[in-house]
Structure 1
Amino acid sequence: MGLTLREMILRLPVLFIAISVHEYSHGYAAYKMGDGTAKMQGRLTLNPLAHIDILGALCMVLFGFGWAKAVPINPNNFRDRKKGLVLVSLAGPLSNFFIAIIGAVLYGIFARFNFGSFNIEFAEVFYGLMNQLILLNVCFGVFNLLPIPPLDGSKIVGAFLPYRIYYKVLEYERYAFPVLLILLYTNILSKVLFILINPVLKSINSLINFIVNI
C-alpha cells in the first residue's frame, strides 16, 4: 500500500483504539444479553493488550485489514440466542463505524474553525491521525462484516441458519482462516473490500464537507 513511516506510526494508536473498542463492544453486548463469559475472563476491558492478536495487528498496519483475539462468548447464556448472536456480532463493526464518524466530526470542526493556523505542525499530525482513525476503523468494520469464518459477518449469517447447518459450518472454520490469509496476501480480497469501503468513505467525506461548510 506504499505506507510512509509517519503513516505507520500514526496507525499504531489508532490500531489500539479500533481493536479495543471493537472487542469491548462485543463483550459488553454479550454481557447485556446475559452472557458474562468475557467479564469473567477479564476481556470486558478497553485495555488493548487484552485483545491484540500479533498477526492480525500486523495485517491491519500493513494492509488496513486485520483482526483481534475474539472475545469469548457463550450463546447458550443469551436470553434470546438468535437475537444475541446478531447483536453481539454487529456490536464490534458498528462501534468502529461510530469511531470513524467521531473522527470525521473532529476533522470537520478542526477544519471549519481553521485551528490549524495556530500551529501547522500540530495540524498536520492531527489531520493525519484523524485520516487514519477514519480509514482504519471503516476498513476494520467492513472487513469484519464479511460472511467468512471466523469474522463477525459469518456469525450474523450463522444466527439465521438451522443449528445442524450452522455447526457443520463451524467444523470448517479452521480451514477458512488460512484461506482468508491467502486472499489478503494476494490482494484478491482487498479489491473486493475497496469496492465495499469506498461508498462508506464517500459518505464520511460528505459529512466532513457538510461540517466545514456550515
Structure 2
Amino acid sequence: MFNIRSLAIRLLALLIAFTLHEFAHALVSYSLGDRSAGTHNRLTINPLAHIDWMGLLCLFAFGFGWGKPVTVDPRYYKDPKNGMVWTAFAGPVMNFILGFVCIFFYYLILGFIPSLYYTGIGSFILDLLAQTAYLSIGLGIFNCIPIPPLDGSKVLFSFLDEDKYFRLIQGTPVLSIIFIAILFSGVINAPIYHLESSMVSLFSNISMKIMGL
C-alpha cells in the first residue's frame, strides 16, 4: 500500500545524505584553493544544486547511489594528487559523521524523552533520523568502492604516478561498463548491507555508552 509518510521520510533522508556528501567535496576542494565549486554554485546545502537524477533514482531504489559530481580543478591544489584524495575522501567521511550524529540523537531522544515517540512529530523525527543514518552510511560505504567514478577509486589509486592516476580516475568506457554491471547485478548488495549494519551497531553502542544507557 502506498504510504506518503514513508515516502516523505525516505526522500528527505536521501536528500540530506547526498546533499551533505557533495557539499563536503565542494567545501574541501574550495579550502584547498580550488574555486570551481563556488563558481558552479556547489558551496551550498541546497539539494537542487547537487541532484543527479539517475543517482537519486538508484539511491531511492537500492539505498545507494550518487549526487551530481562536484567540478574540481586539481591544478589549484598545492599537491594535485593529494588534494584529489582529500577531496574524494571528504564525501564518505561526511556520510559517516552524519550517520553517527543521527544515531546519537535517535538514542538521545529515546533515552531522555521517550514519550516523544508517541507523538506524530516525534515519531516522524525519530524515523527520519533512523532512515537518514542507514542511507547516509550506506551511501558512504558505496562510494568507497574503488571503481571510477566513485570516491574510492581516487583514494585507492593514489599510489600511482600522477599521469596514470588522473587518467584512471577519469574512468574509461570499460570501467563504466563494469561499474554499471556491478551496480545492477546486485552482487554488492549483501556486502554493503552487512557493513552498513555493522557500522550502525558500532555507532549505536558508542552513542549509548556516551549517554550511559
TM-score, normalised relative to structure 2: 0.89
Residue-pair matches, total: 212
Matches for 1:96-111 after TM superposition, within 5 Å: 96-111=95-110
Matches for 1:1-214 after TM superposition, within 5 Å: 6-117=5-116, 119-170=118-169, 172-210=171-209, 213-214=212-213
Change (3 A) 1:118 1:138: closer
For the aligned residue pairs, the C-alpha RMSD in angstroms reads 2.2
- Per-residue deviation, residues 173-210 of structure 1 (Å, max 9, x unmatched): 34333432332222112122223323212112213433
**AA in 2 matched with 1:76:** R
Provide the rounded CA distance (Å) in 1 between the counterparts of 2:148 and 2:182. Answer: 13
The gaps in structure 1 that reach 5 residues or longer are none
Percent same amino acid at aligned positions? 31
**AA in 2 matched with 1:20:** T
- Per-residue deviation, residues 67-90 of structure 1 (Å, max 9, x unmatched): 011000011110122321121111
The farther-off stretch of 159-168 and 129-138 is: 159-168
Q: Per the alignment, in what secondary structure is the counterpart of residue 188 of structure 2?
A: helix
Provide the rounded CA distance (Å) in 1 between the counterparts of 2:5 and 2:206. Answer: 26
Provide the rounded CA distance (Å) in 2 between the counterparts of 1:25 and 1:117. Answer: 32
Provide the rounded CA distance (Å) in 2 between the counterparts of 1:175 and 1:9. Answer: 37
**AA in 1 matched with 2:7:** M
Tell me, yes or no, if the aligned pair for 2:13 and 2:131 is still in contact at 8 Å. Answer: yes
The farther-off stretch of 175-184 and 62-71 is: 175-184
- Per-residue deviation, residues 146-166 of structure 1 (Å, max 9, x unmatched): 111100010112322113432
TM-score, normalised relative to structure 1: 0.89
**AA in 2 matched with 1:182:** A
**AA in 1 matched with 2:200:** L
Tell me, yes or no, if the aligned pair for 1:82 and 1:160 is still in contact at 8 Å. Answer: no
The farther-off stretch of 169-178 and 182-191 is: 169-178
The farther-off stretch of 96-105 and 113-122 is: 113-122
